[in-house]
Amino acid sequence: MQEEISKLIELQKIDLEVLKIEKNMQEIPQSLQKVQKEKEALTQKLENLNHFIEEKKKQKDLFEGELKQEYQRLKSTQARLIQIRGTREYQLLLREIEEIKKANKQKEDEILKLMEEIENLEKEKEKLEEEMKKVESIFEEEKQKFDSFCDKLSMNKNELLKKREKIAKKIPTNLLRKYEALREKKGGLGIAPVDNYVCEGCYMSIPPQLYNELQKDNRYYECPHCKRLIYYKRIYIQEEVQKEERKPSLKEASSS
């Protein structure tokens, strides 16, 4: 009986350690989270900036296309001047030519303005890309550290699982099956110690009669509240109990 409970306690310690390792492997360190957020923010900025540059380039291409057509219209209108004989018609055509030239000048100014904007945006893009290179370098460095940390944890986990397998073989099948089912339902804790009438799995008080029976250590017991397997702590974890007993009370601590 004691040997089986001892093996279950040992198994529980290993399972809790494995859970701790798995949690650590899932939790991304703050340093990596921080640089990851910076990387994501810069990526979004670059995407927005690239989209903005493309829109400006499309607008510039459109204006250049329109200007090319207006140049053709100006050339055609100027050629008609030679054929005009009437003064009034000649004057109207001259006015049209001036209006075309004026509109073309405005379009040229708009194109130059767009070219200047695109140039400034490209410079801003270069700065962001340089910043991105630095952030990516830091990100890779932090990621390598975390991956290395996870590799070590994985090795520790594998060693614990091998040890667990050996211990599990020494526990009766029915008892092991019950423990595994409880562990799965109860957040990884399938068996818990009881001391001073309190189950340390759910921290609820157990009935005095059950507490007395538990001290006999002659069969398996369950907590009436959380349904975990329970054992009398002072039999199996004497060192821990002794440490707690050696702790000075508040009165003793204040008087010393």
Give the pLDDT confidence of 15-48 residue by residue, as tens digits.
Answer: 999 999 999 998 888 889 999 999 999 999 999 9
pLDDT band at 250 (very low <50, low <70, confident <90, very high): very low
Please indicate whether residue 242 or residue 159 has the higher confidence score (pLDDT): 159
Which residues are CB-neighbours of 142 under 8 A, at least 6 positions away? 29, 31, 32, 35
Give the pLDDT confidence of 179-232 residue by residue, as tens digits.
Answer: 999 999 999 999 999 999 999 999 999 999 999 999 998 889 999 999 999 999
Helix axes 173-185, 2-26, angle to 10 degrees: 40
Q: How far apart are CA 171 and CA 94, in angstroms?
A: 107
Q: Collect contacts of 96-102 with beta carbons under 8 A, ≥24 apart.
A: 100/70, 100/73, 100/74, 101/74
- Residue 239: the pLDDT is 53
| β-bridge pairing 191-195 and 229-232 | parallel
Which of 255, 229, 248 has the alpha carbon at shortest distance from 11? 229
Q: How far apart are CA 11 and CA 234, in angstroms?
A: 19
- Report the Cα–Cα distance between both ends of the chain, in Å, rounded: 44
Which of 18, 16, 9, 8 has the alpha carbon at shortest distance from 170? 8
Return the structure tokens found at 245: 């007993």
Q: Which residue in this structure is represented by tokens 């009881």?
A: 194
Q: How far apart are CA 131 and CA 155, in angstroms?
A: 36
Average pLDDT over residues 124-149: 95
Q: What domains, with CATH codes, occur in the chain?
A: 23-167 (1.10.287.1490), 182-255 (no CATH)
Which residues are CB-neighbours of 10 under 8 A, at least 6 positions away? 167
Q: Is the pLDDT of residue 130 over 60?
A: yes
- pTM of full prediction above 0.75: no
Amino acid symbol at 161: L
Q: How far apart are CA 28 and CA 123, in angstroms?
A: 34
